[in-house]
Amino acid sequence: MSDRMFMALAKYRLKEYEKCRVICDEILEKNPQDLSAWSLKALLLSQMVYVDESEVDENGIAEVLLDEHSMSKVSRPGTSFNATNASTSISKAIRPTTQSGRPVSGFVRPGSESGRPGTMEQVLKTARTARSARPISNSSGRYVRLGTASMISSPDGPFINVARLNFNKYGADPRLAKILFQYIYYQENDVKNATELAAVATQATKFNDWWWKVQLGKCYFRMGLYRESEKQWKSAEKLQPMIDIYLYLSKVYCKLDQPLTAIEVLKKGISLFPEEVFLLTNIARIHELLNNTEESQEVYRKILTIDSVHVESIASIATHHFYTDQPEIALRYFRRLLQLGVGNSEMFNNLGLCCFYAQQWDMTLGCFEKAISLADEDTVLSDIWYNIAHVAISIYDTDLACECLKLCLSANSDHAEAYNNLGVLELKRGNYPLAKAFLQAAMTLNGDLYESQYNYAALSDQVGQLQSSFDCAKKAVASFPQHNDSQHLLQQLNKHFAML
């Protein structure tokens, strides 16, 4: 092996992929037939854009509205993500939820709302650049950048011309087939040709190689053929039980809205791989999606007994304690995260809230100032100003609260909760037209925000628009049936209409 090839391998192991690519290009310029340099370059190009697909993604707006799979409309509570158990679900008045209905966990996960379009109009207007006939969704949007990354490797075009490859030839070569598949699947984002290569290689191995069955299942999953991918992964499990296989199977069942089956598969994996953190983490996430908070917290605590520095478990337990009126305990967990090196703006924002509710007022504003200085995204900055406004409201400084809410909207004009609070403050000041405009903006941005619906109903009731008040009160009760104020207002309006 030449010294240059040894240097390229060293750079690859150190994950210095760009330097490794330059060395491989130099070797290939001298000898274009050098198979070692060719294989290493294809491998590093795949590794540069590698995406872990074993994570369970949430369904976005595009998936929900454009899904062609038939699901049961009358699922029993606790057996479907669309019919959560009301007896175990968290009250929206205590703990807020995301647009998908999952309680806020304090930890950003794959498919979270940070990069998700907020309305269906945004989804439909998005450019269709993911090689799909559908608008970009959670399953396709993650791979948009992979299609053009191969052009970087050579100024004259792609490194490998996939259209001219003989898959029967390369699929029968066990040395090159896997490297070539990873390049086509990750770098080129060409699922069709990757599926063809995987099918040829599976036949060449006489259907006895579990790795190719897993890859074929990933291709089917990317194409939306969930039952076919399930068959491939079950066949791979019989040949060689692996942790990733159980994660992929649980992902399929979550897509098919079968969370209990997904949990059973993960528990089967735990029986073979005891105390495996990845399997336990996915069980906890599924329980959270079902609003089974107590079960998810038990699993997270079990994870901490195995891995005491598991960031997601610490953050989820801390958030749970905060929303169950235990800010002192939540503060201890967030401080633990700070000791682990998680010193971002979100962390100091959470510390500021915990300090305020734990009556450590001398630390509250200091934490919020640190969070503002570290904020690098407008959405994070808007949340920080929103929380500062909440603190100002708690100390009855309405002028400061209004200024903070306006700063929140200047950072993120789609912050529905900020519009709602501004509407309430203007309503208390007696400025009904401005309060009405703010509350209408909040309901436009988030139609399920029961607070803005109730506040608009109360405003309409005060100005004598009883029919509008009745309609908004009904929407508030539909969004949050346990909201007593909305129920009381609706009862009063029903009595008034009965007397007419």
Q: What is the pLDDT of residues 192-222, one digit of tens each?
A: 999 999 999 999 989 999 999 999 999 999 8
pLDDT band with cut points at 50, 70 and 90 for residue 150 = very low
pLDDT band with cut points at 50, 70 and 90 for residue 465 = confident
Q: Pick from 91-95, 292-296, 300-304, 360-364 the range whose average pLDDT is largest.
A: 300-304
In 249-301, where do the E strands start and end?
none
- CA distance linking residue 458 with residue 184, whole number of Å: 59
Percent of the chain with pLDDT over 70: 79
pLDDT band with cut points at 50, 70 and 90 for residue 97 = low
Cα Rg of the chain, angstroms: 27
Single out the residue of 308, 333, 297, 338 nearest to residue 318, CA to CA: 333
Contact assessment for residue 247 and residue 259, using Cβ atoms and an 8 Å cutoff: no
Whether residue 156 is predicted with pLDDT greater than 90 in this model: the reply is no
Contact assessment for residue 446 and residue 480, using Cβ atoms and an 8 Å cutoff: no
Whether residue 139 is predicted with pLDDT greater than 90 in this model: the reply is no
Helix (H) and strand (E) counts for the chain? 26, 0
Q: Pick from 66-70, 177-181, 266-270, 411-415 the range whose average pLDDT is largest.
A: 266-270
Three-state DSSP class for residue 414 = coil
Q: Which of 142-146, 221-225, 388-392, 405-409 is predicted with the least confidence, judged by mean pLDDT?
A: 142-146
Q: Give pLDDT tens digits for 470-500.
A: 888 888 888 888 888 888 888 888 888 888 6
Q: Give pLDDT tens digits for 31-84.
A: 888 888 888 998 999 998 888 887 756 555 555 555 555 555 555 666 777 665
Burial class from Cβ neighbours inside 10 Å (0-12, 13-18, 19+) for residue 399 reads: exposed
Q: Which residue has the higher pLDDT, 343 or 123?
A: 343
The pLDDT score that the predictor gives to residue 58 is 56
Q: Give pLDDT tens digits for 255-269.
A: 888 999 999 999 999
> For 377, left (φ over 0), alpha (ψ -120 to 50), or beta?
beta
**CB under 8 Å to 257, separation ≥6 — which residues?**
71, 72, 75, 80, 81, 82
> For 399, left (φ over 0), alpha (ψ -120 to 50), or beta?
alpha
pLDDT band with cut points at 50, 70 and 90 for residue 136 = very low
Whether residue 143 is predicted with pLDDT greater than 60 in this model: the reply is no
Single out the residue of 295, 296, 289, 290 nearest to residue 315, CA to CA: 296
Contact assessment for residue 245 and residue 279, using Cβ atoms and an 8 Å cutoff: no
The pLDDT score that the predictor gives to residue 478 is 85
Tell me what the pLDDT averaged over the chain comes to.
82
Whether residue 120 is predicted with pLDDT greater than 70 in this model: the reply is no
- CA distance linking residue 103 with residue 411, whole number of Å: 24
The pLDDT score that the predictor gives to residue 391 is 92
Q: What is the dihedral of CA 202, 203, 205, 211, to 10 degrees?
A: 10
Ordered DSSP codes for 60-114: -HHHHHH--S---SSPPTTSBTTB--TTTSPPTTTS-B-TTSPBP-SS--TT-GG
The pLDDT score that the predictor gives to residue 140 is 43
The pLDDT score that the predictor gives to residue 202 is 92
Token digits of residue 492: 């009063």
Q: Give pLDDT tens digits for 233-255.
A: 999 999 999 999 999 999 999 98
The pLDDT score that the predictor gives to residue 66 is 53
Q: Give pLDDT tens digits for 185-194.
A: 998 888 999 9
Q: Give pLDDT tens digits for 294-353.
A: 999 999 999 999 999 999 999 999 999 998 889 999 999 999 999 998 888 989 999 999
Whether residue 149 is predicted with pLDDT greater than 60 in this model: the reply is no
Single pTM value for the model: 0.79
Contact assessment for residue 60 and residue 122, using Cβ atoms and an 8 Å cutoff: no
pLDDT band with cut points at 50, 70 and 90 for residue 116 = very low
Report the pLDDT averaged over residues 356-361. Answer: 90
Identify residue 461 by its one-letter amino acid code: D
The pLDDT score that the predictor gives to residue 159 is 78
